[in-house]
Structure 1
Amino acid sequence: MRRFFLPGPLTPEVVIKGADARHISRVLRMKPADEIVVVSADGQAGIAEITRFNEHEVTALLQRTIAIENEPPVQVLLAQCLPKGDKMDYIVQKAVELGVEAIYPVAAEHSVVKYDQAKRQARRQRWQKIAGEAAKQCQRSTVPEVKPIQGLAELFNSLDDDVTVLMLYEGLAPMGIKEFLTKHESAGSYLLLIGPEGGFSTAETDFCRRNDVRFLTMGPRILRTETAALTALGIVLYEKGDLGGYRESKN
């Protein structure tokens, strides 16, 4: 059953507008009495029956609420230094499918791409659209937010105190990611910091050391930035009970 995200709460009558309304009417060619899954901004879901629509607006009546428990048991954030070309499109799509909580695009010193303010806003809108489409496809309960492009210092200033930052570093990291996750008490949430194609600069690694970042390795081979991001995300989620790993009872 097709899934659509609402900007607000779940109400007896829901209205879907914009691109989703056009998709329902023009692409899916749905009609009155067809049912869809609607998910509110706070993650509540329900089955709704379409009552009327046009290409700009679809109205549906809520038939019943449904329980959806498909979000990861741990919050994992991804801070991805800007890669070349359209790699970020791929990273956003796959990270959302895997279960990322939010994505922070970072303008690093060695990032090849340099965006002006208008381009930054346009890219963010594009990535957010990709995140929304991926969330629908894999039946997420929420759409992860793609944050504005920012520098490393801005990123650290925006983080909550209970976030543990893990830097996947191609240099001589003292500990493997699995060893860290199994030996240390679980954090409130994890942020994975992934460098660009040119790697982190000396100034950036020094900044991270001063800010209690954990330097970790995923082995002796140098991974492409998009490979490192998705591999690290999968490892953390699995080790913390998602993606087929053991999930502890909430009782």
Structure 2
Amino acid sequence: MQRYFIDPAQFGDKTVSITGEDARHIGKVMRSKPEDKLIVSDGIAREALVEITEIEAHEVTARIIEQLEASGEPRAQVTIAQSLPKGDKMELVIQKCTEIGAASFLPFMSERTVVQYDPRKEEKRTVRWRKIAKEAAEQAHRSKIPAIEPPVAWKGLLAKLPEYDLACVCYEKEHGQQLRDVLKPFAERLGRGTEVRILVAVGPEGGFTEQEITQLEAAGAVSVGLGRRILRTETAGMAALTCIMYETGEMGEI
């Protein structure tokens, strides 16, 4: 069943209004008709099963059939901090990590980041990234759209680490400490109903420098390995996030 995110103001007591590109998608792409059913969410607290009553070019009206319990969000709130990769790799990271369960994304610049930062271009790219996150969240039946923060400089990343219960750095030279071992005490906390915020930092195509790893660890981060294979920058975050979802009971028993 199709799912759409709407602004909280579009939620009425008995009806909802779906506007803009989503309305066009319902009418033109999905070819929906009155009496077809959808799920809508305000991305905060309300979620409902609705039945379409009227379809116009720029607005779809639907009556609320049933209020639903939002259940598509992981217990662990994971932020993927991704050093800006080349090309459209960031779009892939956002799309797939949103499907897996990321709560937010933090793009950043590091020493080996190849992408040249341009505030004007980044603003447009951030808008596109948010659109990709919204569509991926709808496809995955998420209850919230992951937040995408504006790109930050290296010092900005270091300054954010204390905000998290656990900050992990994916480092290909880390052979002793594996992600699963680091996660064990936090998985136990989640089992007791305690909220846990986790940050996963991923380097660019050339990886982190040893100096950067030293700075991250000094700021409170833990370097972890993801096995004996070397993963691409666009793959590492997905792999780490999947491990976290599994170890915290989102993809099977802990």
- For 1:55, the equivalent position in structure 2 comes to 57
- For 2:81, the equivalent position in structure 1 comes to 79
Q: CA deviation at 1:19?
A: 0.8
Aligned in 2, Cα 1:198/1:162: closer, same or farther, shift over 3 Å?
Answer: closer
Cα offsets for 1:170-196 (capped at 9, x unmatched): 224541111211256647211000000
Q: CA deviation at 1:24?
A: 1.0
- For 1:11, the equivalent position in structure 2 comes to 12
* Whole-angstrom distance in 2 between the partners of 1:25 and 1:18: 11
- For 1:169, the equivalent position in structure 2 comes to 171
Amino acid at match of 1:2: Q
Q: Is the 8 A contact 1:76 1:237 kept in 2?
A: no
Q: Does 1:200 align with 2:208?
A: yes
Structure 2 unaligned residues grouped into runs of 5+ = 190-194
Cα offsets for 1:29-68 (capped at 9, x unmatched): 2222222111122142111122223221112221211224
Q: Does 1:209 align with 2:240?
A: no
Amino acid at match of 2:183: L
* Whole-angstrom distance in 1 between the partners of 2:214 and 2:161: 19
- For 2:2, the equivalent position in structure 1 comes to 2
Q: CA deviation at 1:202?
A: 3.9
Q: Tell me whether 63-72 or 158-167 shows the greater mean CA deviation.
A: 158-167
Q: 1:223 aligns with which of 224, 231, 234?
A: 231
Q: 1:104 aligns with which of 103, 106, 110?
A: 106
* Whole-angstrom distance in 2 between the partners of 1:25 and 1:161: 43
Structure 1 unaligned residues grouped into runs of 5+ = 247-251
| Number of equivalent positions | 246
Q: Tell me whether 117-126 or 149-158 shows the greater mean CA deviation.
A: 149-158
Cα offsets for 1:146-166 (capped at 9, x unmatched): 111112322343466343110
Q: Is the 8 A contact 1:173 1:215 kept in 2?
A: no
Amino acid at match of 1:77: T
Q: Is the 8 A contact 1:174 1:215 kept in 2?
A: no
- For 2:251, the equivalent position in structure 1 comes to 243
Amino acid at match of 1:16: I
Q: Does 1:26 align with 2:28?
A: yes
Amino acid at match of 1:221: R
**TM-score for the superposition, normalised by structure 2:** 0.89
More helix by share: 2
- Matched position secondary structure for 1:89: helix
Aligned in 2, Cα 1:62/1:160: closer, same or farther, shift over 3 Å?
Answer: farther
* Whole-angstrom distance in 1 between the partners of 2:242 and 2:217: 25
* Whole-angstrom distance in 1 between the partners of 2:63 and 2:216: 51
What CA RMSD, in Å, does the superposition of the two structures yield over aligned residues?
1.9
Cα offsets for 1:66-121 (capped at 9, x unmatched): 22422212111110111111111111111011011111111222111113111101
Work out the percentage of aligned pairs sharing the same amino acid.
Answer: 37
* Whole-angstrom distance in 2 between the partners of 1:183 and 1:8: 37
Q: Is the 8 A contact 2:19 2:60 kept in 1?
A: yes
Aligned in 2, Cα 1:183/1:46: closer, same or farther, shift over 3 Å?
Answer: closer
Q: Tell me whether 77-86 or 27-36 shows the greater mean CA deviation.
A: 27-36
* Whole-angstrom distance in 1 between the partners of 2:224 and 2:93: 20
* Whole-angstrom distance in 1 between the partners of 2:113 and 2:221: 20
- Matched position secondary structure for 2:163: coil
Superposition misfits of 4+ residues, deviation over 6 angstroms: none
- For 1:249, the equivalent position in structure 2 comes to none
- For 2:117, the equivalent position in structure 1 comes to 115
* Whole-angstrom distance in 2 between the partners of 1:202 and 1:118: 31
- For 2:47, the equivalent position in structure 1 comes to 45
